[in-house]
Amino acid sequence: MSANRGTASLRELRQGAGLTQMALAAKIGAGAQQVASWEAGRTRPSIKYLQPLAAALGVTTDDVLGAVAPPPQGERG
């Protein structure tokens, strides 16, 4: 992902990789509900999923971190 494209969401990264939530979950050893929760922003993946997510999505760990990071303080709803 190029820096001038901005930060993609986890859902965008997953869809860009051509994966369903279930397929991504199976690739990284997580549950589909976990992936859905991460994408919805209800929870964030634990550190043990960082590298597997990056590998499954074909992106860097920095891209994954950017996709699941909470919004900056001034932008919270």
Q: Which residues have CB under 8 Å from 28's CB, separation 6+?
A: 49, 52, 53, 56
Distance (Å, rounded) from C-alpha 3 to C-alpha 52? 22
Local confidence band at 69 (pLDDT 50, 70, 90 cut-offs): confident
Gap between the Cα atoms of 27 and 77, Å rounded: 33
Please report the domains of the chain, with CATH numbers, ordered by start residue. Answer: 9-59 (1.10.260.40)
Judge whether 7 and 67 are in contact, CB under 8 Å: yes
Calculate the average pLDDT of the chain: 87
Query: 24-53 pLDDT, tens per residue?
Result: 999 999 999 999 999 998 999 999 999 999
Q: Which residue has the tokens 């709803």?
A: 77
Taking the C-alpha atoms of residue 77 and residue 59, their distance in angstroms, rounded to an integer, is 28
Q: What's the whole-model pTM score?
A: 0.81
